[in-house]
Each structure stands twice: as C-alpha cells, then as structure tokens.
Structure 1
Amino acid sequence: MTFVVVLLAYMVRRALDSRERLDPDNPWRALFRSGARVPSGREARRWPGILLVLVPTLVLLVLSHWLRDSSWYALTYPLDLLILILLLGAPGWSGRLQAYAEAWQRGDMAAARHHVKDCLKERERGQANSPSELHLTLARRFMTTMFERYFLLLFWYVVGGIAVAILVRGTLALRDHWPQGAARPGFGRAADLLAWLPARLLSLSFGLAGDLAGWLSRGRPILVSLRSRPEEVLLQSADGALTGYALDPKRFERLHPDQWLTFGDNSLTAIRNLLNRSLLVWICVFALLVIAGFSR
C-alpha cells in the first residue's frame, strides 16, 4: 500500500502544482510566526524551531502507531496520503519557467531575469550577471527544489514513514522560513545531512535515465565526494547525463550561435525530462522492492 500512496500522492500533487494551488510552505510560515520575536542576542538559538517541528512529528508518530495497532489500521494509508500531498509540491515554477523560456527566445534577457528572480535566493541573484550564469543558477535552483520537494520526501517516507517525512519537510522549512536569519545556517546543515544519501541516489538515477557514458565521466566522481552539497551533486551529475550541452551554455553558444535563442527552452525541457525519467527509475526500483517483499 505504501507504493500506491506514493503514486497517488505524486499524481495529485503534480496536478495541484500545474494549477499553482495549495502551497505547502504556507502552513510552515504560519507555524513559525511565534519565532518572529526573540530577546536581543538570542537570534541564533534553534531550539524553539526544533520544538515546533518535533511536536507535530511525535504526535503523528504516536497516532500512526496507535492506528496500526488498532482496528482502525486501514485509516493509516488515507492519512499518509493526505499528509504527503500537503508536504509535497512546488507550485509556481511551471508558469515562471514558461515565461522565462519565451523571453529567452525573444532575446529579452532582462525580462527572463525578471520572471524567475523570485525563484532564486538572494545570494544567487547577485551571482547571475550574464545569461549563461543566470541559466545555470536557475537550473541548479530548479533541480534542487524538485529534489527537495519530491525525491527527498518520498525517499524518507518510504524509509521511515510519514512522521519522518514531516520531520524532513519541517527541517527544510526551518532553513527557508525561520524568522531569525542567524539560526538558518544550522538548519541548513541539518537539511544537507538529510539530503546526502538521497541526492547521490538521484545522481545515480541520472546516469541510468540519461547519458550513462557522459555521467560516468562527469557525474561519478562527485558521487563519492563526501563534502559536496546536494545542489552541486545534482548540477554536475545532470550535466554529465544530459547531451547537447544542455547545461553548458557557453560552449553551446560557441558551437551553435545560430540556435542560441532556443537554448533556454531546450535546456529546461531536457532537465524536466531527466527528472521525470529519474522518478520513473525510482518508482520501478520501489516496485521491485515491494515484489521482493522488502517494503510494506
């Protein structure tokens, strides 16, 4: 049944994302409002945020175990499905990427930057000075977001159940939305630790779903790197797995200057297709584990 929950949650959430509905960040922002005011000099403390995430996690853990041991066992899966739908998702990307690609095709890089600037973190906006840098920054942010909002949560749900998925999603929300900026780096380190293994599994999936030879030459070395951050692993692995210089805009422009205006749209399409094929790889592997009896 876990396999069915994963499939249903993914399909429903993708449909909601395409309609830009039910932003999963809103409940976390509301929950963290209590941390907006802290005594002077204590902005870096993290325990209030940790407590706000741990309490619902523990409550759900107890509820899940109680349901599994009671006559209401069948309710655990609808509950998991509902909560997973609320945890997954990244609405807003589809429309922005389409507008970005259309602006790129017109050669209007100022408009392209304007359409996606809200998708980038503040430090990333300052790094994207040229069209090539902007596109690589956007590609890295898009892949990282899809990884965190889908692959990472589904991995931990399958491994640890819905309570662990909430803990992971709460950690990501603390990193991104905790009101006190001084505490966020600590939450970011925890998020990177939780993403270490799933990011490398997704990197391996890129090799299976894309150009295996290219991935072996560029993606495999970073796979065994202990200190590389998840976003670095994903970008370099995808660069190796994609053909046609989809993540090498400078080289593409040098080799195919007459096709430069189509690069933005073609590159984003290649990235989305690679992510979709990689998710299919995950689903197939999970199905095999279910058949073999390694999953419930």
Structure 2
Amino acid sequence: MSFLVLLLVLLLERHTRWRSGVQRDELLLRRLSRVEAAPALAGQPRLQLLLVLGVPLLPLSLLLWSLAPLAYGWLLLPVHLLLVLWSLGRGDTRQMLEPFRASWQRGDLEAAYLDAQRDLGVQAEDDATLLTQAQGFLLWRVHQGFFAVIFWYALLGPLPALAYRLLALLAEHAGDAGLRRQAQELQAALDWLPARLLALSLALAGNFVSAYRVLRPRLLERRASAVQLVADAGRAAAETPVGNAGVETLDELWSLLQRATLIWYCAIALWVLLPL
C-alpha cells in the first residue's frame, strides 16, 4: 500500500491543487503559541518540543493502530495519503524562483538581487555567487519539501514523515530560540541519510563521474553539511558551468531532480516487490 500512496501523492502533487487545500498549519501554530506563552514551560525547550510534537503524533498513532485491522488495512489508505500530502513542503519552489528568473532574464540584476533576498532568503556579493545560491536553494528546498518526506514515509510510515514536517515548521516559526534550535538539530539529524541518498541519485541521474568526485570525500563524513553536499552534487551532476551561466541552469537542475524522482520511485517499487 505504501507504494500506491506514493504514486497517488506524486500524481496529486503534480496535477492537482489538493496539497494546498490539505496543508493548513493554523492549529499547529496556535498550539506553538500556547506552549511558548506558558510560564511553566519557559526555558524548557525539550519539554516544549515534546508537547508540540506529541499532540498530533499521539492521537494519529492511535488512529492508525485502530484502523489497521479493519477492511484488510485499506481504510489506512486515505489517512496515509492525507498525512503525506500535509507533510510535503509548503509553497511551489519553481513559482518562488519565477520573479528572480524574470529579473535575471531581462538583465535587471539589481531587481534580481532584491527578488532573491525577498523570495529565496539568499544574498550575494556578485552575480555568479547569486546564481549559485539560487541553484542551491532549488536543490535543498526540493530535498526538504519532497525527497526527505518520501524517504521517511517509505522507510517507517506516515508518522516519521509527519514529524519531519512538524520539525521544519517549528524551526521556521518558533519564537523561542532554544525551541527553534532543538527543532533545527533534530531536523538536521533526519536530513543526514536522505540527503546523501539524494546526492547519489542525482549522480546517477546526471554525470556520475563528476558528481562522485565531489561526493567521495564527504559522503560518509558525519559533520559534512548536507545542504552543501546536495548543492555541490547537483551542480556537478548537471554539469552547470562555474560563473555567470544564466538561469537556464535552474531548468537543467529541475530536470535532474525529475530524473532523480524516477530513480527513487523505481528503487522503492523494487524494495516493495522483492519480499514478494
């Protein structure tokens, strides 16, 4: 059933607007505000994190457990589907890049700098560095918005995928510095393995020799930055030229990510079928 859920997620994410309809964060943000405002929890980021994560995860785990024996488990299908859709990243990454792309293509580099700072959260001192950071933004955002969620769902089910998105939202919205740091550290730990698998799949989907040359010294290094690893592997696999190459490199990286998606789905299908 997990592979069927992943196929439906891919179809719905690419061809419908269900994701934006499912992804409502208001309840989580209200819960976060109440936890942060509670005087008894001040200065206890681990307890705050436990209380914010436990409220959705505990009842959902009970719901999944109660539905599992009913109708041969098929009642779990819509629940899994909704949970994975909710766990995907927020917003459309390509749409976020459009203002930057438009400014760059018409030669208005000053506007491109402002667009990148406003929409992508990146800054640079020169054009080549700005484009490199935009490439890294695309690769890492797709990793966190799609690949990491798919990995944890395929490996352990919907609850780890949901926990990953909850941590990402806490890392983005938490006002308490300690709570935000705890969420970022846990999310980074959950990023370690899927980021390296994504880097390898980008190498397989593109120029393997160039990408593996970048990956080899850092692939198993525990402290190597997953963000930089994915960005460097993607640029090497797509053979993006160094310097002011143009925003068409973003399209090349997007195509590379689509091929990596196909590799992941084929690998998951084999993993599901082999025990049979």
Normalising to structure 1: TM-score of the pair?
0.84
Contact map agreement 1:219 1:238 (CA 8 A) in 2: no
Higher deviation after alignment, 56-65 or 111-120: 111-120
Equivalent in 209, 212, 218 of residue 213 of structure 1 = 209
Post-superposition offset of 1:201:
0.5
Instruction: Tell me how far apart the structure 1 counterparts of residues 10 and 209 of structure 2 sit (CA, whole Å).
Output: 30
Instruction: Tell me how far apart the structure 2 counterparts of residues 40 and 46 of structure 1 sit (CA, whole Å).
Output: 13
Cα deviation code 1:111-161 (max 9, x no counterpart): 21233323334xx43xx2222222222222221111111111111111111
Post-superposition offset of 1:244:
4.0
Instruction: Tell me how far apart the structure 1 counterparts of residues 210 and 56 of structure 2 sit (CA, whole Å).
Output: 44
Equivalent in 145, 150, 155 of residue 149 of structure 1 = 145
CA gap 1:58/1:40 in 2 versus in 1, 3 angstroms: closer
SS in 2 for 1:46: helix
Cα deviation code 1:152-192 (max 9, x no counterpart): 11111111111121112111111111121343122111111
Q: Does 1:11 align with 2:11?
A: yes
Instruction: Tell me how far apart the structure 2 counterparts of residues 2 and 20 of structure 1 sit (CA, whole Å).
Output: 18
Contact map agreement 2:100 2:116 (CA 8 A) in 1: yes
Q: Does 1:197 align with 2:190?
A: no
Contact map agreement 1:242 1:270 (CA 8 A) in 2: yes
SS in 2 for 1:21: helix
Q: Which residue of 1 aligns with 2:77?
A: 77
| Alignment of structure 1 residues 179-258 onto 2, 5 Å | 179-245=175-241, 248=242, 250=243, 253=244
The one-letter code of the counterpart of 2:192 is: W
Instruction: Tell me how far apart the structure 2 counterparts of residues 116 and 22 of structure 1 sit (CA, whole Å).
Output: 27
Higher deviation after alignment, 144-153 or 31-40: 31-40
Please, which runs of 5 or more residues in structure 2 have no aligned partner? Answer: none
Post-superposition offset of 1:227:
0.5
The one-letter code of the counterpart of 1:229 is: S
Post-superposition offset of 1:282:
0.2
Higher deviation after alignment, 91-100 or 104-113: 91-100
SS in 1 for 2:70: coil
Contact map agreement 1:90 1:145 (CA 8 A) in 2: no
Contact map agreement 2:198 2:230 (CA 8 A) in 1: yes
Q: Percent identity?
A: 25
Contact map agreement 2:89 2:144 (CA 8 A) in 1: no
Instruction: Tell me how far apart the structure 1 counterparts of residues 198 and 262 of structure 2 sit (CA, whole Å).
Output: 11
Instruction: Tell me how far apart the structure 1 counterparts of residues 33 and 42 of structure 2 sit (CA, whole Å).
Output: 16
Higher deviation after alignment, 65-74 or 220-229: 65-74
Please, which runs of 5 or more residues in structure 1 have no aligned partner? Answer: 254-259
CA gap 1:276/1:61 in 2 versus in 1, 3 angstroms: same
Q: Does 1:270 align with 2:252?
A: yes
Q: Figure out how many residues of one structure are paired with residues of the other and give that number.
A: 275
Higher deviation after alignment, 266-275 or 30-39: 30-39
SS in 1 for 2:89: coil
Normalising to structure 2: TM-score of the pair?
0.89
Instruction: Tell me how far apart the structure 2 counterparts of residues 244 and 196 of structure 1 sit (CA, whole Å).
Output: 24
| Alignment of structure 1 residues 16-165 onto 2, 5 Å | 16=16, 21-22=20-21, 24=23, 26-27=25-26, 28-37=28-37, 39=39, 42-43=42-43, 45-71=45-71, 73-121=73-121, 124-125=122-123, 128-165=124-161
Instruction: Tell me how far apart the structure 2 counterparts of residues 280 and 9 of structure 1 sit (CA, whole Å).
Output: 14
State the superposition RMSD in angstroms. 2.5
Instruction: Tell me how far apart the structure 2 counterparts of residues 107 and 176 of structure 1 sit (CA, whole Å).
Output: 33
Q: Which residue of 2 aligns with 1:256?
A: none
